[in-house]
């Protein structure tokens, strides 16, 4: 561990304990209660230390419990009388010999009766202040209980750490950022218990389960239990009889388990005793009663006691018991197949195949691979091979996936088998390998050989998805619509068509049509692939963000977050792309950076997978918006390195990120040129919604060309949503230098939720008001721009920079002045802006004349003065 786990602030509880110990308080101290390991002693001792209190600490123990005044023996000396009253009086006199005292008692529930009585008397007489800890769920001496019941001391119940506190603790220990899903898994495994979490982190670091990837700490594999933690937990189970341990072993191998099954195998009495001991909990899940461990780590302790042979035997008993019951749900089949694989029972390839399909439908890809591989080894043939190939593809094992499929000759397959084989091979070749040509060859083979209408619709749906991702939107729409309109389309055909049609409609500006399409996709999802729904559903998120329906977009993104299977990192990463798309539109840039980096770290060992490509340009654009030009440039380089024909549909969005990266680097003219070029390219490919985004980006960057407003006006008549009309008004107001209209646009953008656009519109208004010497209006617009930029986490754009540096410079002159301030020579500026050195010198000369500067250094100083003047605006 890089450093010791530090104390995490418990602000409210800390203040309450400190107040209770104040001599001016009405009571005489505090008792902190909570579960073992929750941090009671740590809190008590830290308050005492910070308050500079002289505390006499004692600790209750099992061994001293039978000795009268045993915990105080070192403070009061040996007993001089066998009379309890005399002994108490002597002890009291000895303790108070040096005046008022603060007594600290750890584990006060373990005090002997005489010690508890002594503390009670001292407290009610206000002779001492007391700070004590008591473990929840334990029997406590009446004398101690009465202290808080009668109001002599304050009782503070210390709860386990929240998720946020647990993250703080772990991140301090590892010295870096913890992946979101790993954080949740560690929190759930530890139950928020500080002591358990400490040992969990230590064990995970020692085993390598907790490792740093791409600047993000990830937990992969089972919770690791250190020997120290195991010994702590062992104390809860060492005294249990064999019948209860048998129940716990069964639960360890099959959690959760139906209460009736566990009772049949382990006995009613043993199950009841395990519950009474607080080791298990029983809860209704649907119509059944399920049993789980009261604390997740108990299962790991029991697992360590299980040998290989006994585990196989017990799993066999579980398989036999579960097999006698109805196996109707996906979870039932997965549980039964998982137990059978590692038991001494005979394996059913059919069950394994069904379980693999169920696991993939639930996005549990590693489990799907395990079942499919076993089914294939057991002779399940092509269906198992296709399931295995799909699981390998989702995990980035594209080469192995293709090897599995190439072991079958398509000439030997009938139509159903050919579609099954070909669909998976196309998916792998196109989206995982990135070989669009090879994928199209397989697609052509299927198109030529498949005549049955219901199967041909599946081929059409796959073809639509391939067309959409190569940016052939007209063909994608035609193929997808043919599937959607067919009454005989299967769920797989519908899923592929929704994938293609959603993207094509969202990007072409027909976002309002995607809601109905997405609803069709949700009907198909339970019958297809749990992971495919994430990239397929991205079209819905794009449609909602591009039309300005941000609340609905966030709700839709949350559905994908909630779907992912617990602990399945690929599904978690893909759901993060959906959330980041909404965050990016609304200006939550720091969150985009955090999520995108974690998403990309998740696939760091399989970097060629295409379904995470949006995270690459999301990261670049977010860094650029926050003004981190170097990080944005690195992210753009990464995006370009992974760009290809199989993600061509994202090319225009990637170029918009490029424009913002160029703006962050100080080359505003290049950024405007990139944005306008992207608008033309998007228009040519039918991505009219992205065309509008690109044109508005140029306007936000400071391009006041009326032609931009003309194009946006025309697009506003054709495209769905509330954003494009405001884009057009923004561009028109900018061209007309109409400050009031820009203020109105800022207000409308803010109402919609597009805070970055609102900030830039307000900043442009401030600049226009300043040039017209409307001081009051300038102050109001600038204040709005600053507020909105702060709401975006510190947004930095050319419009905001200009409003903060009110100098009479053209866009080009300001651009060159910024580059001078950044330390570039005239030659470097000329190279970056594709100008001659003489042209750069001419711009510098004219800029210096406008701000009364004599040289390059004076021009840079004028920029700094402008910034200081802006900071003094009331």
Q: How far is CA 483 from CA 92, 267, 426, 478, 868, in A?
A: 88, 55, 18, 9, 62
Instruction: Name the β-bridge partners of 32.
Output: 133, 156
- 450-468: average pLDDT: 97
**pLDDT value at 100 more than 80:** no
- At a CB cut-off of 8 Å and minimum separation 6, what does 713 contact? 728, 732
Residue that wins the pLDDT comparison between 445 and 75: 445
**pLDDT value at 773 more than 80:** yes
Residue 188: the pLDDT is 84
Pairwise CA distance, residues 351 & 851, whole Å: 80
Q: How far is CA 824 from CA 817, 833, 840, 860, in A?
A: 10, 12, 12, 11
- 156-181: average pLDDT: 90
Pairwise CA distance, residues 221 & 569, whole Å: 11
Residue 202: the pLDDT is 86
DSSP 61-118: -TTTTTSTTGGGHHHH-S-S-S-HHHHHHHHHHHHTTTSSEEEEEESGGG--HHHHHH
231 pLDDT band, cuts 50/70/90, is: confident
Residue 4: the pLDDT is 52
Strand bridging mode 257-258 / 288-293: antiparallel
209 pLDDT band, cuts 50/70/90, is: confident
Of 391-395, 562-566, 814-818, 853-857, the least confident: 562-566
- 780-806: average pLDDT: 88
Phi/psi of residue 156, each to 5°? -120, 120
**pLDDT value at 5 more than 60:** no
Considering only CA atoms, give the Rg of the chain: 34
- 800-804: average pLDDT: 84
- 173-186: average pLDDT: 88
Pairwise CA distance, residues 617 & 421, whole Å: 33
- 261-269: average pLDDT: 91
**pLDDT value at 2 more than 70:** no
Quick: pLDDT tens for 50-73. Answer: 888 888 888 888 777 778 877 777
- 344-348: average pLDDT: 88
**pLDDT value at 867 more than 50:** no
87 pLDDT band, cuts 50/70/90, is: low
Residue 305: the pLDDT is 82
Pairwise CA distance, residues 799 & 858, whole Å: 23
Residue 654: the pLDDT is 98
DSSP annotation of 257 reads: E
**pLDDT value at 802 more than 90:** no
Q: Which among 335, 366, 341 is positioned nearest to 251, based on CA atoms?
A: 335
Phi/psi of residue 456, each to 5°? -60, -30
Pairwise CA distance, residues 827 & 833, whole Å: 10
Residue 652: the pLDDT is 98
Indicate the average pLDDT of the chain.
88
Tell me the three state secondary structure of residue 31: strand
Residue 874: the pLDDT is 33
Strand bridging mode 288-293 / 29-34: unpaired
| Percent of the chain whose pLDDT exceeds 70 | 94
Pairwise CA distance, residues 684 & 676, whole Å: 13
Phi/psi of residue 290, each to 5°? -110, 150
**pLDDT value at 672 more than 90:** yes
- 818-832: average pLDDT: 84
Contact indicator for 248, 302 with CB cutoff of 8 Å: yes
Q: Which among 428, 592, 420, 402 is positioned nearest to 492, based on CA atoms?
A: 420
Residue 567: the pLDDT is 52
- 648-654: average pLDDT: 98
| Angle of helix 723-736 versus helix 755-771 axis, rounded to 10 | 20
Q: Which among 295, 283, 251 is positioned nearest to 270, based on CA atoms?
A: 251
**pLDDT value at 501 more than 70:** yes
DSSP 463-493: HHHHHHHTT-HHHHHHHHHHHHT-TT--HHH
What is the token pair recorded at 694? 């690109």
DSSP annotation of 361 reads: H
The Cβ of residue 847 has, within 10 Å, a number of other Cβ atoms equal to 25
Residue 80: the pLDDT is 56
Q: Which among 626, 658, 629 is positioned nearest to 795, based on CA atoms?
A: 626
775 pLDDT band, cuts 50/70/90, is: confident
435's torsion region: left (phi>0), alpha (psi -120 to 50) or beta? Answer: beta
- At a CB cut-off of 8 Å and minimum separation 6, what does 781 contact? 739, 742, 743, 746, 762, 763, 765, 766, 769, 803
Q: How far is CA 717 from CA 438, 678, 725, 787, in A?
A: 41, 21, 8, 32
Handedness of CA 870, 823, 622, 706 (dihedral sign): positive
- At a CB cut-off of 8 Å and minimum separation 6, what does 202 contact? 1, 226
Instruction: Name the β-bridge partners of 244.
Output: none
The Cβ of residue 234 has, within 10 Å, a number of other Cβ atoms equal to 14
What is the token pair recorded at 865? 């003065």
- 25-37: average pLDDT: 86
Enumerate domains of the chain plus CATH numbers.
Answer: 11-157 (3.40.50.300), 163-223 (no CATH), 225-306+317-323 (1.10.10.10), 809-873 (1.10.10.10)
Instruction: Name the β-bridge partners of 101.
Output: 128
Quick: pLDDT tens for 567-593. Answer: 577 888 889 999 999 999 999 999 999
Contact indicator for 420, 385 with CB cutoff of 8 Å: no
747 pLDDT band, cuts 50/70/90, is: very high
Residue that wins the pLDDT comparison between 227 and 347: 347
**pLDDT value at 145 more than 80:** yes
Pairwise CA distance, residues 359 & 365, whole Å: 7
Contact indicator for 432, 441 with CB cutoff of 8 Å: no
State how far Cα 424 lies from the chain centre.
29
Tell me the three state secondary structure of residue 131: strand
Range picked from 449-453, 609-613, 824-828 for highest mean pLDDT: 449-453
Tell me the three state secondary structure of residue 271: helix
Residue 20: the pLDDT is 85
Residue 8: the pLDDT is 63
The Cβ of residue 164 has, within 10 Å, a number of other Cβ atoms equal to 11
What is the token pair recorded at 558? 């949350």
Residue 197: the pLDDT is 87
500 pLDDT band, cuts 50/70/90, is: very high
DSSP H or E segment with residue 130: strand 128-135
Residue 870: the pLDDT is 41
What is the token pair recorded at 276? 């009474």
**pLDDT value at 287 more than 70:** yes
């Amino acid at each position: 561990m890089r450093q010791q786990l530090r104390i995490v602030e418990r602000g409210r509880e800390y203040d309450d304990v400190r107040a209770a110990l104040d001599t001016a308080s009405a009571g005489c101290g505090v008792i902190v209660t909570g579960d073992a390991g929750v941090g009671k002693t740590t809190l008590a001792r830290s308050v005492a230390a910070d308050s500079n209190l002289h505390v006499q600490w004692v600790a209750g123990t099992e061994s001293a419990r039978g000795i009268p005044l045993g915990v105080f023996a070192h403070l009061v000396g040996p007993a001089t009388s066998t009379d309890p009253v005399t002994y108490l009086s002597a002890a009291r006199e000895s303790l108070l010999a040096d005046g008022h005292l603060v007594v600290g008692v750890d584990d006060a529930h373990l005090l002997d009766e005489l010690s508890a009585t002594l503390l009670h008397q001292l407290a009610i007489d206000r002779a001492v202040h007391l700070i004590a800890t008591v473990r929840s769920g334990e029997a406590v001496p009446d004398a101690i209980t009465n202290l808080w019941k009668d109001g002599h001391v304050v009782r503070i119940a210390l709860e386990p750490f929240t998720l946020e506190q647990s993250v703080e603790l772990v991140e301090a220990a590892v010295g870096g950022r913890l992946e979101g899903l790993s954080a949740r898994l560690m929190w759930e495994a530890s139950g928020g218990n500080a002591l358990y979490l400490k040992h969990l982190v230590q064990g995970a670091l020692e085993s390598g389960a907790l490792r740093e990837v791409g600047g993000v700490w990830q937990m992969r594999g089972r919770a690791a239990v250190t020997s120290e933690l195991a010994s702590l937990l062992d104390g809860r189970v060492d005294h249990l009889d064999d019948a209860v341990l048998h129940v716990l072993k069964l639960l360890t191998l099959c959690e959760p388990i139906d209460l009736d099954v566990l009772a049949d195998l382990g006995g009613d009495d043993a199950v009841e005793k395990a519950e009474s001991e607080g080791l298990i909990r029983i809860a209704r899940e649907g119509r059944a009663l399920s049993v789980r461990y009261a604390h997740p780590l108990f299962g790991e302790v029991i697992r360590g006691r299980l040998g290989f042979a006994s585990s196989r035997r017990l799993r066999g008993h579980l398989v036999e018991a579960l097999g006698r019951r109805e196996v109707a749900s996906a979870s039932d089949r997965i549980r039964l197949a998982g137990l059978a694989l590692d038991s001494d029972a005979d394996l059913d390839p059919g069950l394994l195949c069904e379980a693999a399909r169920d696991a993939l439908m639930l996005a549990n890809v590693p489990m799907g691979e395990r079942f499919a591989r076993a089914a294939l080894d057991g002779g399940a043939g092509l269906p198992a091979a296709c399931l295995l190939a799909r699981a390998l593809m989702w995990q980035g094992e594209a080469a192995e996936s293709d090897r599995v499929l190439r072991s079958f000759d398509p000439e030997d397959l009938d139509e159903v088998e050919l579609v099954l084989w070909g669909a998976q091979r196309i998916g792998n070749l196109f989206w995982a390998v990135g070989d669009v040509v090879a994928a199209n060859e397989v697609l052509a083979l299927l198109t030529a050989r498949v005549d049955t209408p219901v199967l041909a619709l599946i081929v059409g749906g796959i073809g639509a998805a391939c067309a959409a991702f190569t940016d052939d939107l007209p063909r994608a729409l035609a193929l997808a619509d043919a599937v959607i309109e067919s009454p005989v389309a299967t769920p797989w055909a519908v899923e592929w068509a929704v994938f293609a049609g959603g993207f094509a409609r969202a990007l072409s500006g027909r976002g309002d049509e995607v809601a109905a399409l997405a609803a069709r996709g949700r009907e198909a999802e339970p019958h297809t692939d749990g992971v495919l729904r994430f990239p397929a559903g991205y079209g819905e998120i794009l449609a909602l963000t591009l039309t300005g329906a941000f609340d609905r977009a966030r709700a839709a993104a949350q559905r994908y977050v909630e779907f992912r299977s617990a602990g399945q990192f690929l599904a978690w990463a893909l759901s993060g792309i959906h959330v980041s798309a909404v965050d990016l539109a609304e200006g939550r840039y720091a969150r985009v950076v955090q999520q995108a980096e974690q998403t990309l770290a998740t696939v760091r060992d399989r970097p060629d997978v295409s379904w995470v490509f949006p995270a690459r340009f999301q990261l670049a654009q977010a860094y650029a918006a926050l003004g981190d030009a170097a990080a944005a440039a690195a992210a753009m380089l990464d995006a370009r390195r992974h760009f290809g024909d199989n993600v061509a549909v994202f090319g225009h969005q990637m170029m918009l990120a490029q424009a913002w990266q160029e703006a962050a680097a100080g080359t505003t003219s290049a950024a405007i040129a990139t944005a306008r070029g992207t608008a033309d390219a998007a228009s040519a490919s039918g991505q009219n919604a992205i065309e509008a985004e690109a044109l508005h980006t140029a306007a936000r960057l400071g391009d006041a060309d009326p032609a931009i407003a003309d194009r946006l006006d025309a697009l506003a008549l054709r495209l769905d949503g509330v954003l494009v009309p405001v884009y057009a008004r923004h561009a028109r107001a900018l061209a007309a230098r109409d400050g009031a209209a820009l203020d109105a646009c800022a207000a409308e953008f803010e109402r919609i939720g597009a805070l970055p656009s609102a900030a830039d519109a307000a900043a442009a208004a401030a600049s226009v008001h300043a040039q017209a010497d409307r001081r009051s209006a300038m102050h109001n617009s600038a204040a709005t721009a600053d507020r909105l930029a702060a709401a975006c986490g510190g947004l930095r754009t050319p419009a905001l920079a200009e409003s903060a540096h009110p100098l009479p410079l053209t866009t080009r002159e300001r651009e060159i002045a910024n580059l001078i301030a950044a330390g570039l020579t005239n030659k470097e500026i000329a190279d970056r802006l594709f100008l001659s050195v003489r042209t750069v010198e001419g711009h510098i000369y004219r800029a210096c004349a406008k701000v009364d500067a004599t040289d390059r250094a004076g021009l840079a100083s004028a920029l700094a003065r402008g910034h200081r003047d802006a900071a003094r605006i009331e």
